């Protein structure tokens, strides 16, 4: 329908004038004077070369990354905070799945552990190992809440609160293990 309408717009057909348009563009002088001539090369697929092999071929040194990194208190506390969070999630998942899947309640399993006749030192050590992620994560969480008030963010204060948090986590762990 559109072609039919175009042919009836005037004595000269619109389609005829459009057909002359590409010829007009190819003879225009302004197109060559616009800038440098662009040439196109055929695409060549790159060689599949491993990053390390390419670095060896170009005699690039291996980056020392972790071998020269000096571990800082702040980075170690942050990594440990994440690890203890994962451990606490594991505790919660294990307790939840145990409550759903195991046939007896917790008092039965406590009786089994008491029947092992473990020494008080062994029981204290086991409870301390189980309580240490909670003590550490709790103390470091309080430290982060303190930082959220925009206080204690200088390097000196960060290290001071880091050492104080380590001491608090040991105290919390010992209190929990003594219960």
Asked if pLDDT for residue 153 goes beyond 70, the answer is: yes
Span 159-179, pLDDT tens digits: 999 999 999 999 999 999 999
Element at 177 (helix H, strand E): helix 155-178
Span 89-145, pLDDT tens digits: 999 999 999 999 999 998 999 999 999 999 999 999 999 999 999 999 999 999 999
- Given this model, what pLDDT does residue 36 score? 75
- Given this model, what pLDDT does residue 131 score? 97
* CATH no. of 73-178: 1.20.1300.10
Asked if pLDDT for residue 31 goes beyond 60, the answer is: no
Q: Tokens at residue 148, please? A: 């959220």
Rounded average pLDDT over 6-33? 56
**CA dist list (Å): 40 to 9, 37, 43, 44, 173:** 42, 10, 9, 12, 70
User: Each residue of 76-91: b (16+ CB within 10 Å) or e?
Assistant: ebeebbeebeebeeee
Span 43-77, pLDDT tens digits: 887 778 888 888 888 988 877 776 777 889 999 99
Q: Are the C-beta atoms of residues 169 and 136 closer than 8 Å to each other?
A: yes
Q: What is the DSSP-derived secondary structure letter of residue 8?
A: T
Count H helices and E strands in the chain, helices first: 8, 0
- Domain limits of the chain? 73-178
More confident site: 109 or 6: 109
């Amino acid at each position: 329908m559109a072609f039919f309408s175009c042919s009836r717009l005037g004595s000269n057909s619109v389609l005829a004038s459009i057909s002359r348009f590409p010829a007009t563009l190819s003879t225009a002088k302004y197109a060559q004077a616009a800038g440098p001539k662009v040439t196109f090369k055929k695409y060549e697929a790159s060689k599949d070369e491993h990053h390390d092999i390419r670095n060896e071929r170009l005699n690039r040194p291996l980056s020392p990354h972790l071998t020269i990194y000096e571990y800082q208190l702040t980075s170690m506390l942050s990594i440990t905070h994440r690890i203890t969070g994962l451990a606490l999630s594991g505790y919660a998942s294990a307790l939840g799945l145990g409550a759903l899947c195991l046939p007896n309640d917790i008092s039965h399993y406590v009786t089994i552990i008491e029947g092992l006749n473990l020494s008080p030192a062994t029981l204290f050590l086991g409870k301390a190992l189980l309580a240490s992620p909670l003590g550490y994560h709790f103390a470091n969480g309080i430290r982060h809440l303190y930082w959220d008030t925009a206080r204690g963010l200088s390097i000196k204060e960060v290290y001071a609160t880091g050492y104080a948090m380590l001491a608090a986590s040991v105290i919390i762990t010992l209190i929990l293990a003594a219960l």
